[in-house]
Amino acid sequence: MNSAIILAGGSGKRTNLKIPKQFVKIDGKKHIITYSFNSFNKNKNINEIIVVLPDENWVDVFNEELHCHHQSEFPKKIKFIQGGKTRSESSIIGLHACSEKTTNVLIHDAVRPFISQRLINEIIVKLTKYDAVIPALDCMDSIVKIKNNSFDYLDRKKIKYIQTPQGFNYKLIYSAYNNIKENINVFSDNMSALISYNPKVNYTFIDGESSNFKITTTEDIDKAKILLK
């Protein structure tokens, strides 16, 4: 059984908007999060979707929207739940909400609205051979490490831009978050948490997609609007 967790608990402070960026309607009709949700909802390999939201108010909003649609539009098992104060805390809450039958889990940032079916399917296929599957992009720019008043060039061939969804063997990622002894909030993504707990985990990288960018600033929202025209 393949479960998808969509993390939508962030406050979106960097956009300086009145509401979290994942709830902005980039086409005047659909929330940013809705695009991520729809991608998983129409994928035949995904059995359930857990959406982790900032608070009970947003949980009520999305439950109400769900009830306003015909059941045939949402044939999967869907849960809207309240998350934690950080990404890691929301990840743990999402993992605990997964079905007891879950074997694989894909964890995705809600603010990456243009996730493709190819990416979802490739991750699921790779999870038959690996315990963790991470989409990544090659670095095309020069990279420098700045220290005091000097800097050093890094080998960009060894640099990757990490994306989501990140796919995992459910039992392994669940065990990692429940057994990590250090502060869980030091981890910037789910793979870093798993590697900290189990450095020998069997993982692989796959090609990410430039269209699968993360909406962080108002400029990113404008970019998304252009892509939807």
- The C-alpha atoms of residue 171 and residue 130 are separated, in whole angstroms, by 13
Is the bond into 75 cis (omega within 30 degrees of 0)? no
Distance CA 160, CA 191 (A): 14
Residue 206's pLDDT is 98
**Separation CA 3–CA 78 (nearest Å):** 10
Which is it for the CA torsion 96, 197, 88, 185, positive or negative? positive
Q: What is the pLDDT along the chain (229 residues), one digit of tens a residue?
A: 999 999 998 655 555 567 888 888 887 778 888 899 999 999 999 999 999 999 889 898 888 877 666 555 666 789 999 999 999 999 999 999 999 999 999 999 999 999 999 999 999 999 999 999 999 999 988 989 898 889 998 888 889 999 999 999 999 999 999 998 778 889 999 999 999 999 999 999 999 999 999 998 889 888 888 887 7
Helix ranges (H only) for the chain are 32-41, 56-67, 87-96, 117-126, 170-179, 190-197, 218-227
Which long-range contacts does 170-178 make (Cβ < 8 Å, 24+ apart)?
Answer: 170/3, 170/95, 170/98, 170/102, 170/103, 170/104, 170/105, 172/131, 172/132, 172/198, 172/201, 173/95, 173/105, 173/107, 173/132, 174/95, 174/98, 177/88, 177/91, 177/92, 177/95, 178/92
Residue type, 54: P
Structure confidence at residue 74 (pLDDT): 61
Burial of 34 (0-12, 13-18, 19+ CB in 10 A): buried
Domains of the chain listed by start with CATH number: 2-134+164-227 (3.90.550.10)
Q: Give the pLDDT confidence score for residue 11 in this predicted structure.
A: 59
Alpha-carbon span 99 to 3, nearest angstrom:
8
**Helix, strand, or coil here: 41?**
helix
First-to-last C-alpha distance (Å) of the chain: 36
Alpha-carbon torsion angle 48, 52, 55, 61, nearest 10: -40
Whole-Å CA distances, 146 to 138, 140, 163, 189, 207: 21, 19, 24, 23, 28
What are 52's two structure tokens?
């982790």
pLDDT at 101: 96
Q: What are the φ/ψ torsions at residue 213 (nearest 5 degrees)?
A: -85, 160
